[in-house]
Chains A and B, each alone.
Chain A
């Protein structure tokens, strides 16, 4: 795999559409949160869409995904239908986890989507385990494990990277480095702010990627996944990105300046992709309008699906605390 990728019209529009789906879905989610349709914590992915979209390009259906609590984008990019994702955030039975997890805990067995995990770095040991199982039961499968740069402070990050490297397990570690662990800037949290160095310390090949560029992420992900599938063990991508919104729905954002936010917004992956596709004549204004209309319709349908959803019967409250069987 070279460092270049020839983007044709279909491919370019697909990346754009996926990012737009996420951006507008999040925007709708924010609106529904204000309307108190969605409750709890709500962590939005605006600004970081290029990462989920770029990484998923390199994965196929045999692969597993372990995500974080900021995982709506990963779920949508993975191909989980928007309706069940939205219904999950409503807490409805028709949600992809029967509404039991909400925004932070999207699971989908068919998509091998093993949950948004709301403990920082808590999904990493799990990903090591699925990779261990896959090596025996699904040779060639990769587990893509997403986490933020804040995870680097946790012991589980280091334990997981060491074991994955030691046992040469098929894990794609994807660090979404948005520079703030909630409100803690990277500089006051890490002695070495180059997260990729930590992977290299474990002998894991790693690279820093422009997380605001889906094509760059896709190229890196293809290279990483190819290496992993060849049996070379884990791979680490540090995707440099920025979250445009607050950590959860509201915070006063005292930890960063408005200027900084505006500077990063100038690198908006969606706006750049749109401009690039139009400039390169890979997308016409009509096609753009059509994509926007389709995405809006999809969201409208998802909201309608969630609204029409039902509440799980309270009698089922304890169902699945203990399982009767292992689902096949």
Chain B
């Protein structure tokens, strides 16, 4: 598919270009994971890279998440810059020991003698009727863990540039790519050639309330803001981008300005990232809030297969609009 607009590409293509760049930039960088080579990646992100870089740089692995993650961690300790792909975050549970007990602990536990500069990419989220073992959003779990950084690119620009920043970081960085975003298109600003992995970003300025969202829910939040504008409510949309460590400053700055906040989180509500953010807002901004904090989260069920049930389970634009309207100043 050729597109006449320069810099216009899908999120998937942006992920691929990011990987290609990384491989060209650093001979010690390589990709490792299930089906990343011959198959081209479960979500076709690495399609064509095997032919371009060969099997030492694009390493197909057995179905063995623990050693895939663990070998990535070990290789990073040994001086390489691995990009590990785990097909979906549901499968990453088979690699939890390595991520939580090794990657996240070794720098601290060794007294700073060893860094673990590994990047682990995985698909997350629902919306493609893949049922309850391929659709969950577990990034909030990972965001619980000290010692790792957790990224959630929600735009084509972040998909394109977050990887380089992650590889430059001396810490283990997990990147959650939302499955629904892979086909989303965007146009890259030619002026932007890098992004940070430390800050949240205001994607739509507004004055009446703040919608905090990330990843696959970001387009829904922006769409909701559009609908709210039609109703005369000026919503600010803040893209969290970095789920650990959270950029409290940007979040607080926005909410202290708008005094109202809706948090959108594709994780389940109980014990979620949204709960953490709500608690921080309550701790630090209690007296500046003009309304209770609202949350739009995934319903507390394993994500079901049928489209209507899946839709009902996941946060939707209409849910965000409804939550926002309930909070906004009376017209």
A and B are interacting partners: yes
> What residues of chain A have their CB less than 8 Å away from a CB belonging to chain B?
64, 95-101, 105, 107-109, 114-115, 117, 119, 122, 124-134, 136-138, 155-156, 159-160, 162-163, 166, 319-327
Q: Given that A137-B78, A163-B64, A325-B170 are known contacts, is A122 also in contact with B98, CB under 8 Å in the complex? A: yes
Q: Across chains A and B, which 7 residue pairs bring their CB atoms closest together, nearest first?
A: A129-B74, A125-B70, A133-B78, A98-B111, A107-B110, A159-B67, A129-B71
A-B contact count (CB 8 A): 157
Residues of chain A lying within 8 A (CB to CB) of residue B296: none
Known: A130-B75, A327-B113. 6 other contacts (CB 8 A): A127-B74, A129-B73, A130-B78, A137-B28, A159-B67, A327-B112
Select which of A99, A129, A327 is within 8 A of B70 by beta carbon: A129
A-B contact pairs, 8 of them (CB 8 A): A95-B111, A97-B111, A108-B113, A119-B97, A122-B102, A131-B74, A163-B67, A327-B113
B205 on the A face (CB < 8 A): no
> What's the nearest-Cβ distance from chain B to residue A158, in Å?
8
B10 on the A face (CB < 8 A): no
Is A119 in contact with B67, judged by CB distance below 8 angstroms?
no
B147 on the A face (CB < 8 A): yes
Select which of A95, A96, A125, A132 is within 8 A of B98 by beta carbon: A125
> What's the nearest-Cβ distance from chain B to residue A61, in Å?
15
Is B62 in contact with A166, judged by CB distance below 8 angstroms?
yes
Kindly report which residue of chain A lies nearest to residue B78, judged by CB atoms. Answer: A133
Chain B's interface size range is: 35 or more
B106 on the A face (CB < 8 A): yes
Residues of chain A lying within 8 A (CB to CB) of residue B108: 100, 319-321
B93-123 residues with Cβ-Cβ distance < 8 A to A are 94, 97-98, 101-102, 106-115, 117
Residues of chain A lying within 8 A (CB to CB) of residue B109: 97, 100-101, 105, 107, 115
Of A95, A96, A137, A322, chain B has the most CB atoms within 10 Å of the CB of A322
Is B111 in contact with A132, judged by CB distance below 8 angstroms?
no
B72 on the A face (CB < 8 A): yes
Is B170 in contact with A326, judged by CB distance below 8 angstroms?
yes
Residues of chain B lying within 8 A (CB to CB) of residue A131: 74, 78
Residues of chain A lying within 8 A (CB to CB) of residue B101: 119, 122
B79 on the A face (CB < 8 A): yes
Residues of chain A lying within 8 A (CB to CB) of residue B75: 129-130, 132-133
> What's the nearest-Cβ distance from chain A to residue B248, in Å?
16
Is A137 in contact with B111, judged by CB distance below 8 angstroms?
no
A149–B171 Cα distance when bound, in Å, is 32
Is B111 in contact with A125, judged by CB distance below 8 angstroms?
no
